[in-house]
Amino acid sequence: MTTPRHAHAEGQHVATDLVESRRTRICGIPVDVLTMEESLEAARELIETGKPHQHVAINAAKVVAARHDPELRDIIESCALANADGQSIVWASRLLGSRLPERVAGIDFMLGLWELAADHGYGVYLLGSKPSTVLKVADVARSRGVRIVGARSGYWTPEEEADIVADVARSRADLLFVGIPTPRKEEFLHRHLKGLRTPLAVGVGGSFDVIAGEVSRAPAWMQRSGLEWLHRMRQEPRRLVRRYVVGNLQFMLMVAQDAVTHARRPS
């Protein structure tokens, strides 16, 4: 077992050579051309620097949101690691000539990082979901050998935010998982990355709810077929129908436009 480096140096985000040399763009949004195994190795390298880094999971909804939200787009650009969370991103890459090797689903990446944390003794902080949910997730993580150094719900007032950042910093966590919606989690992490003093901060959206058994994950065949969004929408139609139905159509149009532009470029 190695000892985590806890220098927590200030300064710019530092990406590994593995990431910097293998980054492409989908509809103008950066995505790293990495497998799950390579992503976990890149994450380990980032953690071992002791410096603060932000991870972002890229799906169709986030690409569409970034097109209309310059702040979100700039945040994504600043992230040290950007994975293809959605199967539609992988398909779009093949149409656009980038050919991402595989989907790196956010929940699977989180579970892989838990294994990494258990193997290397990294401290993990969980931030997000309801109080009862995040405590369930902490129990699941501990049962897998993860050293949990803090856990808090994702509900707070603007006045409480500074205290949350200070609590994460005091925990000396090597990994921070944030389970709150987009773009709130991206903005929170970007705004406080140095203050959190965490080598790798990872936004995991609704993954806590799945781990806690409060929301089911789509069957494997739906994940492979790119239909996981349909399973999620059936569980929370009011919240997700616009995001998925309208968002997916917008994403398809954006990809089609980029494909036409790509085809017109001289070879």
- What is the per-residue pLDDT for 240? 65
Q: What is the mean pLDDT of residues 39-57?
A: 97
Find out whether 53 and 81 touch, Cβ atoms under 8 Å. Answer: yes
Q: With 70 as the cut, is the pLDDT of residue 111 above it?
A: yes
Amino acid 25: pLDDT: 95
Give me the pLDDT at residue 150, please: 98
Q: Is the pLDDT of residue 264 over 80?
A: no
Closest CA to 87 of 239, 229, 218, 214: 229
Q: Which amino acid is at 60?
A: A
Confidence band, pLDDT 50/70/90 cuts, at residue 267: low
CA 27 to chain centre: 18
Model pLDDT, residue 221:
77
Question: What's the rounded Cα separation, in Å, for the pair 265 and 16?
Answer: 31
d(CA 104, CA 86): 8
Beta bridge partners of 58: 84
Q: How high is the pLDDT of residue 10?
A: 41
Is residue 48 pLDDT above 70, yes or no?
Answer: yes
Write the pLDDT tens digit of every residue in 167-181.
999 999 999 999 999
Instruction: Name, in order, each residue with C-beta under 8 angstroms of 83's C-beta and a sequence gap of 6 or more.
Output: 31, 32, 34, 39, 55, 56, 57, 58, 104, 106, 109
* 170-174 contact pairs (CB < 8 A, 24+): 171/123, 171/125, 172/6, 172/123, 172/197, 173/123, 173/124, 173/125, 173/149, 173/198, 174/4, 174/6, 174/47, 174/117, 174/122, 174/123, 174/124, 174/198, 174/199, 174/200
Give percent of the chain with pLDDT exceeding 70.
84
> Taking the mean position of all CA atoms in its chain, how far away is CA 92?
19
How much is the average pLDDT of 254-260? Answer: 93
Q: Which two tokens stand for residue 38?
A: 């390579």
Lowest mean pLDDT among 66-70, 122-126, 227-231: 227-231
55: which residues sit within 8 A by CB, 6+ positions away?
43, 79, 80, 81, 82, 83, 200, 201, 202, 203
- Find the helix or strand (DSSP H, E) in which 110 lies: helix 106-120
